[in-house]
Structure 1
Amino acid sequence: MSIQIPTVVLDGFVLSILAEGDSYGYAITQHVLKYADVSESTLYPVLRRVKKQGLVTTYDEPTNGRNRRYYRITNEGRTKLDETRQEWIQFSENVNNLLLGGKK
């Protein structure tokens, strides 16, 4: 069985990584793949979406004769990440309680 990861969680993954420092698409993807079974092609639309929402900005840096696009979290992105983290805590507690037989 494969549980699909909701969009808001994927956005949270990206924002959480960028909260630690600027990064580029491939590195972000490799980081997420350590924790979640998603295809590499899944994360580039996530990066475009969070940029369009103003949660990240981008800049290019030359690397080995090519430009590499870096992503940086914005203040709005940090606020969204905090909200997502709080919502995740409540959601995951509820799911664990129901699926694993916790509080009623």
Structure 2
Amino acid sequence: MSNLLNSLSTELRRGTLTLAVLSQLRTPQYGYSLVQSLEKSGIFIEQSTLYPLLRRLEKQELVTSSWDTSETRPRKYYVLSEYGKEVFEQLKEEWLKNSKELYKLLEGEEKDGLD
């Protein structure tokens, strides 16, 4: 049972992480700053998950990256592309709509259990 639950939780989390990362890339972020800003919101992501996700988003042209070499340690910054901004807004709307619908279903289950 716990393996199944872990698998389903991972599947559920995968889509939410993409949306969470996109939401934080409205302003340029480098990997570690992105991890920190997500953690402040209670969303934990391993760097081993984050960097492949960022590469995938860049390949899908949702995110662009550039190197900042002005400091002693070069950092690669990621930010939403114009296309990424459009997709993010659409995904956000879809997420909010689905969340409200799912909440109603789950809330209804709780009420049904009280009868």
Place the TM-score, normalised by the shorter chain, in its bin. Answer: 0.7 to 0.9
Return closer, same or farther for 1:80/1:8 CA change in 2, 3 Å cut-off: farther
- For residue 72 of structure 1, report the CA deviation from its aligned partner: 1.6
Q: Does the 8 A contact of 2:62 with 2:83 survive in 1?
A: yes
What is the CA deviation profile of residues 2-49 of structure 1, one whole-angstrom value per residue up to 9, with x for unaligned ones?
Answer: 633443322211111111x11101111111223223333221111111
What is the CA deviation profile of residues 46-85 of structure 1, one whole-angstrom value per residue up to 9, with x for unaligned ones?
Answer: 1111111001111111254221100121011001101111
Runs of 4 or more consecutive aligned structure 1 residues displaced over 6 Å after TM superposition: none
Fraction of identical pairs, as percent: 34
Choose from 16, 22, 40 the match for 2:23.
16
- Does residue 55 (structure 1) correspond to residue 88 (structure 2)? The answer is no
- 1:31 is matched with which residue? 37
How many corresponding residue pairs?
Answer: 101
- CA–CA separation in structure 2 for the residues paired with 1:90 and 1:69: 34
Work out which of the two has the higher radius of gyration on C-alpha atoms and give 1 or 2. Answer: 2
- CA–CA separation in structure 1 for the residues paired with 2:88 and 2:104: 24
TM-score normalized by structure 1?
Answer: 0.82
3-state DSSP of counterpart to 2:74: strand
- 2:113 is matched with which residue? none
Return closer, same or farther for 1:37/1:14 CA change in 2, 3 Å cut-off: closer
TM-score normalized by structure 2?
Answer: 0.75
- 1:69 is matched with which residue? 76
Unpaired stretches in structure 2, ≥5 consecutive residues = 110-115
Greater fraction strand? 1
- Does residue 86 (structure 1) correspond to residue 96 (structure 2)? The answer is no
Name the Cα RMSD after superposition.
2.0
